[in-house]
Structure 1
Amino acid sequence: MAPKASEISTPIREQRHTGYKPVPPVRFRPGPATIAFVSFVCLLIGLLFLALQIRTIFSDQLKQEYSGLVLEGIERAESARTVVRVRQQQADNSNAESGRAEQSADYRQARINLAARLASLAALVNASPSAAPRIPQSALSPDANLDDTDTLLAVQSVYWRAQRNHDSTDARTRITRVASTLIVLSALVFGALITALGMYAKRTRQLAGESHKFEYAALHDAMTGLPNRRKLFATLAETAAAVSRNPARRKMAVFYIDLDGFKQINDSLGHRVGDEFLIAVSRRFRQTVRVVDVVARFGGDEFVVLIREFSTNAELDAIAQRLIDCVRQTDEQMGVGFVRASIGIASFPDPVRDYHQLVAVADETMYQVKRNGKNGYAFATRTT
């Protein structure tokens, strides 16, 4: 009986209800250590193959030298056989008894020399580890049949020349293999090195990126993205050093901003609305000053703005008014209706002569504004 459609679709519906998702296949991504290990194993195998091939090449060279010695022995025996042939013809052509006897003696000596050559050749041939045709003991006698000697020398010459040619060809083939293996191993080592360097560079970039993220997180406020106290004071010291080199022409200032009434947002509207307000006003602060200036969240609802260079207090007046407007506009946009800003301003080197005291003096000045009615700004008059 065929299953019903509802029965077939039940597992699918169960998967949808249970939220089951197929597990994606795990992809193997080799690291530098794995690549180095595989390359090392391949290198060892290649070196072992090279060692075997080189050993065989040396063996082939020894075989070629042995074949050359045998062929030299064959040539010497063939030379001795030629002398025997000449002496035999001379003895046959001699007419005088004395001449014939002398030629017979020369012929006999030539046969003895031929037998000695054949004995030397037999010592080489019969000692060969290869399956070479052996030279029988009967062929070493001075009285051996010369036709059999000619046949023996011809057979030995053909065999050992073929053996030498075979060994030479085999050696050339193995040398080619060695050269090819060296090229492959060089490419393998070079490729592994390039791959390892590439992966190392990638890891280095990743670590540098992570390090940059950690450094950024250590120097910036997590919620607003503004620089924190640590970043502020580092920039303050850097700017003060530049101002100190030319105090007659350069001045810097710090604005300490406190949001009046902000606590009521958290109490009445909740911390989520308070966080949204801080993020929005931070963005406005950042947009209302120059790129080179620094807007930092000092803590809670307090902000510090570092003006890295200005000429007159009129410029600071305009900046302070824009910062107050930023708070008012954010308050109106979010429909809060009671958040404003009190700002204290301190400048270096006049009237504050120690830049380490800039933030503290600006903070004191901000509290003076609060005591005088809030929602305004004032310049510090204290000199340190």
Structure 2
Amino acid sequence: MFRTVSARSIHAPEGTLSSRVRRALGRVRVPGPAPLAGAALLCLLIGLLFLAFQVRAIFSAQLQQEYVGLVLEAVERADAARAAAFSLQNLSASDTQHQALYREARIELAGRLAALHALVASSPMSAPSVPSAVLSPSAALGEASAALDSTYNWWRTERDRTSADVRERILSVSHTLIALSATVFGVLITALGMYAKRNRQLLGISNEFEQASLHDPMTGLPNRRKLFAALEEAANALAGRVGDVRGSTRIAVLYIDLDGFKRVNDTHGHRIGDEFLIAVSRRFRQTVRGGDMVARIGGDEFALLVREFSSDSELAAIAQRIITCVAETDAQMGLSIVRASIGIASFPDRCHDYWRLVAAADETMYTVKRNGKNNYAFASAPASA
């Protein structure tokens, strides 16, 4: 059975994992793309409304152009009748045949002018009408000619104006389409960038939460959960290397208890106790080998996973270095109180089940404490079946 460590209040100093997690929580508020999408949608709606207005205006201008073309065709027909009338006007009055032709030309001109008058009167645009006085065959030819010229000049100017308006509106539509395309593309790229940034930040926060769940918040050492995960990984690797977990290669756990640590808390306060734990944890990290892992089990108890060793003397040397670390930290802080008791269990020689390594090392550590403390001992091998 594992011993339950009594809980106590631990105040983590600034810079520990819990502090970093709190800062990570503050970074969760990543502005989403919703405001950008709303603004882009508003711009698109305004652009589409503008396009609809321009397209409607272009169709209207094209209809006006078609009507102007009809009026100018009527003007051309009336101009042809006017030219015929002018060519017959100066003939001899005694020439009956030519006089008849002139009257027919005037009647033709009056009919053309009447048709032009009706067309102008039905125009969807506000336009000056053809004077009614020139619609009679008996009207002065000069007045009829002046009215025709005035009508032609007005409608030619209107044709030029509507053509320029259509060209300008088509150009405006093309510019608007380019702007809308650029807006959509820009919003898409920006949204993708924001999405990627949010994913990176969430991934970083997730990593920090995972780090916090597997590490002691005060010392930064791996916790019990990470220790057992590493123990299982080491046991699986051991089985893969030798093909038989009872071969010569072994793994071990050193269970460390700080003798006299409770007196530090009672005498100097929890703040000094916390500083001692942080300092000794730092020394542990510097002392253990690169492939090994030291973890804080809870309170003043630690465990060291040795993933591979060749002999018990190698484990004894590691245990002695741990004891020295504790003594040096105690001397550095001027306490003269804290020492270390260490129990050592190895797999598969002293424990047939690697899940019992921590419990066996813990039990052996208690044997050391009963026999004088500040020392280490190896777990006894189980009796053969």
- TM-score between both structures, scaled by the size of structure 2: 0.79
The residue correspondences of 1:51-130 to structure 2 (distance < 5 A) are 51-86=52-87, 92=91, 101=97, 103-130=98-125
Moved over 6 A (4+): none
Identity %: 61
The residue correspondences of 1:242-261 to structure 2 (distance < 5 A) are 242-247=237-242, 251-261=250-260
- What is the aligned counterpart of 1:208 among 185, 189, 203? 203
The residue correspondences of 1:266-285 to structure 2 (distance < 5 A) are 266-285=265-284
Instruction: Give the Cα–Cα distance (whole angstroms) in 1 for the partners of residues 84 and 249 of structure 2.
Output: 117
1:330 Cα offset (Å): 1.5
1:213 Cα offset (Å): 3.1
Q: Which residue of 2 aligns with 1:50?
A: 51
CA spacing shift, 1:318–1:81, aligned 2, 3 Å:
same
> Does the 8 Å CA contact 1:135/1:152 hold for their aligned counterparts?
yes
1:193 Cα offset (Å): 4.0
Q: Which residue of 2 aligns with 1:41?
A: 42
Instruction: Give the Cα–Cα distance (whole angstroms) in 2 for the partners of residues 164 and 203 of structure 1.
Output: 58
Q: How many residues align?
A: 350
- TM-score between both structures, scaled by the size of structure 1: 0.80
Q: Which deviations, in whole Å up to 9, do the C-alpha atoms of 1:100-149 show, x marking residues without a partner?
A: 53x55554444443333323222221212433221133433344433223
Q: Which residue of 1 aligns with 2:338?
A: 339
CA spacing shift, 1:242–1:330, aligned 2, 3 Å:
same
> Does the 8 Å CA contact 2:216/2:222 hold for their aligned counterparts?
yes
User: What secondary structure, in the 3-state scheme, does the structure 2 residue paired with 1:309 have?
Assistant: strand
The residue correspondences of 1:1-384 to structure 2 (distance < 5 A) are 32-86=33-87, 92=91, 101=97, 103-247=98-242, 251-382=250-381
Q: Which residue of 2 aligns with 1:24?
A: none
CA spacing shift, 1:353–1:156, aligned 2, 3 Å:
farther
Bigger drift between 48-57 and 29-38 goes to 29-38
Cα RMSD for the two superposed structures: 3.0
1:55 Cα offset (Å): 1.8
1:302 Cα offset (Å): 0.8
Instruction: Give the Cα–Cα distance (whole angstroms) in 2 for the partners of residues 349 and 144 of structure 1.
Output: 130
Bigger drift between 220-229 and 370-379 goes to 370-379
User: What secondary structure, in the 3-state scheme, does the structure 2 residue paired with 1:290 have?
Assistant: coil
| Higher RCO (CA < 8 A, seq sep 6+) | 2
1:155 Cα offset (Å): 1.2
Instruction: Give the Cα–Cα distance (whole angstroms) in 2 for the partners of residues 261 and 74 of structure 1.
Output: 118
Instruction: Give the Cα–Cα distance (whole angstroms) in 2 for the partners of residues 114 and 144 of structure 1.
Output: 11
Instruction: Give the Cα–Cα distance (whole angstroms) in 2 for the partners of residues 273 and 250 of structure 1.
Output: 41
Instruction: Give the Cα–Cα distance (whole angstroms) in 2 for the partners of residues 290 and 119 of structure 1.
Output: 112
Q: Which deviations, in whole Å up to 9, do the C-alpha atoms of 1:220-245 show, x marking residues without a partner?
A: 21221111111222222223222222
1:32 Cα offset (Å): 4.2
Q: Which residue of 1 aligns with 2:3?
A: none
Stretches of structure 2 that go unaligned for 5 or more consecutive residues are 1-29
> Does the 8 Å CA contact 1:254/1:304 hold for their aligned counterparts?
yes
